[in-house]
Amino acid sequence: MPEFAFSRLRRSPDVEAPNLQAWDATDELLVRQALAAGVPGAEIAVIGDEYGAITLALADAGCCGVRVHQDLATGRRALERNAAALELSGFASHELDASLLKGARLVLLQLPKSLAELEEVADAVARWAAPDVVLVAGGRVKHMTLAQNEVLGRSFARVQPQHAERKSRLIVASGALAVPAQPPYPQRAEHPEFGLTLVAHGGAFAANRIDIGTRVLLEVLAGEAGSAAQLRRSARLEPESRRDHAELQNSSGVMPDESQVVIDLGCGTGALAAYYALHHPEARVTATDRSASAVASARETMIANGVADRVTVTHDDAGSDLPDGAADLILLNPPFHLGASVHTGAATRLFAASARLLRPGGALLTVFNSSLAYRPELSRLIGPTEQLHRTSKFTVTRSIRR
């Protein structure tokens, strides 16, 4: 059988760049291990297959019925596009649950960046897969640590690192241990300084903490909430005409709550969306993220804060399923990593998405590391941009859609 054409794979709709590719040596090692094991496709589960390299190579080799879980919406769409381009099928996508793992005797895993995510995955495999399941986890040697072996050892009796090849290494875990009655995730934490409860699955950025960038943006929102409340009190004292209503909108930079459409773009665990919904009860808030782990976390966060009936949470790529020109306000704490690579392309995609989603005159509030100097790009893609707040590390800006 000819070797699979990994070079034909593409990352789209994720960022494409000369220094970024849709597969690595770890994918190839995992495929080779699976084919050598001779396990039927229907008994194989693949987790963390970024752009479909593992799943499609197995399909190309005749493995039918492979189940796959990808955290990112961009990865799921890339798998669909690559499968269509290569005319391959015979696999099914699942969430990280029993439907993915029931009866699986071989699980292939691209090691996640966080130990928490690895712990949640290892527990899920031990909890739901076949009793004799073998978990083969792989990663680039430079990103691997002994702590990963320790985490796997909590769910498996035998954890055996293999020899490195082409700067990648596999770890074979077997002998699934008894699992606790309740899974280790999601986990929750109280943040009384903002009146928030955050709930997080293992793969969610910053776990159940408030990361420093989100914290700075929340502080700005807290200040603006007071200003908006004052505006609402004034509005109740003296009814306005439509013209007065527009002047009120322009002076505050946001619409009054009863007609305000707000998007938390790249919502993570949903801190910004939950806080905004708590302080603007009539606003229509949507929280969206490309990570399934983040979306599951955000839904739990909305329930924990009593705003689940007022916040819609969606799994999406840069708000691509949301209508153009409908948002009055977008809240954004953009990432500056793509996988293990430092790359500003992810933020640029979200800035461009904001320009599409905002109505003319709508506002984008974003926070970013000051060293990244995004302000000129925000002005170019969206419109006039002003600095609202700056700390030693982070800057918060407001951009008005032209």
Confidence bin at 346 (pLDDT 50/70/90): confident
Q: What is the CATH number of the domain that holds 20?
A: 3.40.50.150
Confidence bin at 289 (pLDDT 50/70/90): very high
Helix/strand/coil for 131: coil
Looking at residues 305-309, what average pLDDT do you find? Answer: 98
The per-residue pLDDT for 330 is: 98
Looking at residues 340-357, what average pLDDT do you find? Answer: 80
Assess if residue 139 is contained within a domain. yes
- If asked whether residues 194 and 334 sit together in one domain, one would say yes
Confidence bin at 336 (pLDDT 50/70/90): low
Which of 128, 151, 176 is the last residue before a domain boundary?
Answer: 176
Which residues make Cβ contacts (< 8 Å) with residue 309, sequence separation at least 6?
none
The per-residue pLDDT for 259 is: 77
Pairing state between β 44-47 and 106-110 = parallel
User: Per mean pLDDT, which range of 87-96, 105-114, 338-347, 392-401 is the poorest?
Assistant: 338-347
- If asked whether residues 214 and 314 sit together in one domain, one would say yes
- If asked whether residues 152 and 220 sit together in one domain, one would say no
Assess if residue 354 is contained within a domain. yes
The string of pLDDT tens digits covering residues 184-232 is 999 999 999 999 999 999 999 999 999 999 999 999 999 875 454 443 4
- If asked whether residues 171 and 191 sit together in one domain, one would say no
Confidence bin at 2 (pLDDT 50/70/90): low
Assess if residue 182 is contained within a domain. no
Which of 150, 176, 202 is the last residue before a domain boundary?
Answer: 176
- If asked whether residues 117 and 227 sit together in one domain, one would say no
**Phi and psi based region of residue 48 (left: phi greater than 0; alpha: psi -120 to 50; beta: remaining):** left
Assess if residue 68 is contained within a domain. yes
- If asked whether residues 276 and 224 sit together in one domain, one would say yes
The per-residue pLDDT for 365 is: 98
Identify whether the C-beta of residue 396 lies closer than 8 Å to the C-beta of residue 367: yes
In angstroms, the CA 186 to CA 175 distance is: 25
Assess if residue 181 is contained within a domain. no
- If asked whether residues 210 and 249 sit together in one domain, one would say yes
The string of pLDDT tens digits covering residues 241-284 is 333 333 334 433 454 556 799 999 999 999 999 999 999 999 99
Assess if residue 296 is contained within a domain. yes
The per-residue pLDDT for 15 is: 84
Q: How many domains are there within the chain?
A: 2
Strands (E), 94-227: 106-110, 134-140, 156-161, 168-176, 187-191, 196-200
Domain of residue 69, residue span: 6-176
The per-residue pLDDT for 237 is: 34
- If asked whether residues 138 and 88 sit together in one domain, one would say yes
- If asked whether residues 196 and 160 sit together in one domain, one would say no
Assess if residue 14 is contained within a domain. yes
The fraction of the chain above a pLDDT of 90, given in percent, is: 84
To which residue do tokens 């055996």 refer?
A: 160
Which residues make Cβ contacts (< 8 Å) with residue 3, sequence separation at least 6?
none
- If asked whether residues 252 and 391 sit together in one domain, one would say yes
Confidence bin at 343 (pLDDT 50/70/90): very low
Looking at residues 52-68, what average pLDDT do you find? Answer: 98
The per-residue pLDDT for 344 is: 60
- If asked whether residues 143 and 255 sit together in one domain, one would say no
The fraction of the chain above a pLDDT of 70, given in percent, is: 89
DSSP 3-38: PP-GGG---TTS---TT--S--HHHHHHHHHHHHHT
Predicted TM-score of the model (pTM):
0.89
Confidence bin at 233 (pLDDT 50/70/90): very low
- If asked whether residues 225 and 362 sit together in one domain, one would say yes
β partners of residue 197:
190
Assess if residue 1 is contained within a domain. no
In angstroms, the CA 139 to CA 149 distance is: 12
The per-residue pLDDT for 239 is: 37
Which of 142, 176, 210 is the last residue before a domain boundary?
Answer: 176
Q: Tell me the C-alpha to C-alpha distance, in Å, between residue 171 and each of 99, 124, 166, 336.
A: 24, 17, 15, 29
